[in-house]
Amino acid sequence: MTEENNSLFWHRVKLLALIGVFLAPFIGGWLALYVFEVRPENKNYGTLIQPVKKLEWPSVKSVDGMIYEGGFGRKWTFVLFSNEVCADKCQSNLFYMRQIRTLLNRDSERLQNVLITAASIDAEMLEFLKEYPDLVVIEGFSDESLLAQFSTDGEQRVGDDARLYLVDPDQNFMMVYPADNDEHRILDDIRKLMKLSQIG
């Protein structure tokens, strides 16, 4: 091999090495994802609904006389269902919902809280709800077509426990949280969502 050919050979080797260094991360990522099926850990605390469900809301009337058509407007919405009187766990999660909204500070107006209960609001519950002036309350509600839309595999019937359901401003059901939850981790989820999304 002549000196000129030898020089050309090593230039080609260096060029191929540079191309290899550039492509290695992409090839490695492709192999990890599609060949070895390595998936990144889900960082959400709540269970993400995949695919998200577009909700079809019936017309509802709140206890203060407001009529809601097609959902509750262009806001992020926490919905808590109760098939019975809103008891201890239900009331605890109403408190956490209120705290999460308050701790969002300047973004607090982007989130609203909704309680939908099959029971009627009695005098005791009415007294309790005085501490929640911004809560939308729907009483005497048992529309199975709506409850079915919030149903998730392997979980109790919607409203049998105090799970929290998150609906986005486009009326998509996108996340569910357990009745026994960590409100600080829920707050982290909501902050991330609001940072990533400009809707609502």
pTM over 0.85: no
Q: What is the residue whose two structure tokens read 């909501």?
A: 190
Could you list the beta-strand ranges (E) of 38-189: 47-54, 60-61, 67-68, 76-82, 111-117, 136-138, 164-167, 172-177
Q: Are 10 and 1 in contact (CB under 8 A)?
A: no
State the pLDDT at residue 42.
Answer: 54
Could you list the beta-strand ranges (E) of the chain: 47-54, 60-61, 67-68, 76-82, 111-117, 136-138, 164-167, 172-177
pLDDT tens-digit profile, the chain (200 residues): 565 556 666 666 666 666 656 655 555 554 544 455 444 455 789 999 988 899 999 999 999 999 999 999 999 999 999 999 899 999 999 999 999 999 999 999 999 999 999 999 999 999 999 999 999 999 999 899 999 999 987 778 899 999 999 999 999 999 999 999 999 999 999 999 999 887 76
Domain ranges of the chain: 1-40, 47-196
User: Architecture of 47-196 per CATH?
Assistant: 3-Layer(aba) Sandwich (3.40)
Q: Are 117 and 138 in contact (CB under 8 A)?
A: yes
What is the edge-to-edge ordering of all strands in the sheet holding 47-54? 47-54, 172-177, 164-167, 76-82, 111-117, 136-138
State the pLDDT at residue 117.
Answer: 96
State the pLDDT at residue 142.
Answer: 86
